[in-house]
Amino acid sequence: MWHFFALYFVFPTPLSYLCPNSKTMKYIALIFSAALLISSCGNNDGKPANDSVNAASANVAYYGDRISPEGAIKAETIKEKLGQKDSLAMKVEGKIVDVCQKKGCWMELALADGENIRVTFKDYGFFVPKDASGKTVIMDGYAYNNTTSVAQLRHYAEDGGKSKEEIEKITEPEVAVSFEAHGVIIKD
């Protein structure tokens, strides 16, 4: 669009041969500019630009940092990938089995061995919907070997809506793999 205006305002003489009347030339410039603007606003078939989420997963929501789904490993392989390391950066895809019912400030994913992995969010900076259980998630962050205190486990149980009796049964710290996500995609 600026090309035409540059021609009109910087080099008006060659264009004046086409339209000797300056008022007519201004209208032509305006119409040409509008046509150029409209043609440059292509319809991308309703797909977001530069978004790599495939068409099969039309309902997606992003939380935290904007991440892409490429390169995600299955949640079942987290323990194997982490091994004896203290922590390891990774992108993971899995099924959400539980979410904090107070704020959505943590979630749990199912692992292959029947265990769950607790996921928290970087700097307590974002939350996920409380009704996200059962949905597929892709998250980017790091997995780490963690010991969770009895007090923290009881807090999680309370946030998860567990009964007072269930909370009081928690008497031992838990040694497990945890995950801190800086970006999350939830797919319906």
Output the pTM of the full model.
0.62
Q: Which of 26, 25, 28 is nearest to 16 (CA)?
A: 25
Assign 77 to helix, strand or coil. helix
Cβ atoms of residues 164 and 122 within 8 Å:
no
pLDDT score recorded for residue 161: 87
Per residue of the chain (188 residues), give pLDDT as tens: 444 444 454 445 555 555 556 666 666 655 655 554 444 444 433 333 334 444 344 689 999 999 999 999 999 999 999 988 999 999 999 999 999 999 999 999 998 878 899 999 999 999 999 999 999 999 999 999 988 899 999 998 988 889 999 999 999 998 889 999 999 999 98
- Pairing of β 116-121 and β 136-148: unpaired
